[in-house]
């Protein structure tokens, strides 16, 4: 991968990141818990999952990645339920 390839991917990531932030901001607090179908994630759970992917990538980069860190990115894991619930308002995201 060349430097220009990396810069192009970074530019794309920054664009997607901005779109994602705007989409998250469009949800009302009540809409965060909407579940379209049983066994589908709510917007709150999806947002939590997206956020924790950044933490997971950092753990890989720093050499601290392990199974526990991987499981903490799963919003269905009971161990992270308090963290998911703590996303109590779109304004706190």
Which pair of tokens denotes residue 21?
């932030």
Angle at 49 between CA 18 and CA 82, to 5 degrees: 120
The pLDDT of residue 18: 87
Which pair of tokens denotes residue 20?
């994602």
Sequential pLDDT tens for the chain (93 residues): 899 988 898 899 889 888 888 888 888 888 999 999 999 999 999 999 988 888 898 999 999 999 998 888 899 999 999 989 887 766 665
Domain coverage including residue 25: 3-92
The pLDDT of residue 90: 60
How many structural domains comprise the chain?
Answer: 1
47 and 24 in contact (C-beta within 8 Å)?
yes
């Amino acid at each position: 991968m060349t430097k220009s390839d990396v810069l192009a991917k970074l530019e794309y990531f920054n664009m997607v990141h901005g779109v994602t932030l705007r989409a998250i901001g469009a949800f009302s607090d009540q809409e965060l818990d909407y579940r379209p179908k049983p066994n589908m994630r709510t917007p709150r759970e999806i947002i939590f999952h997206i956020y924790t992917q950044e933490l997971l990538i950092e753990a890989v980069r720093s050499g601290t990645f392990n199974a526990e860190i991987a499981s903490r990115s799963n919003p269905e894991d009971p161990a992270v339920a308090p963290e998911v619930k703590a996303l109590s308002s779109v304004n706190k995201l």
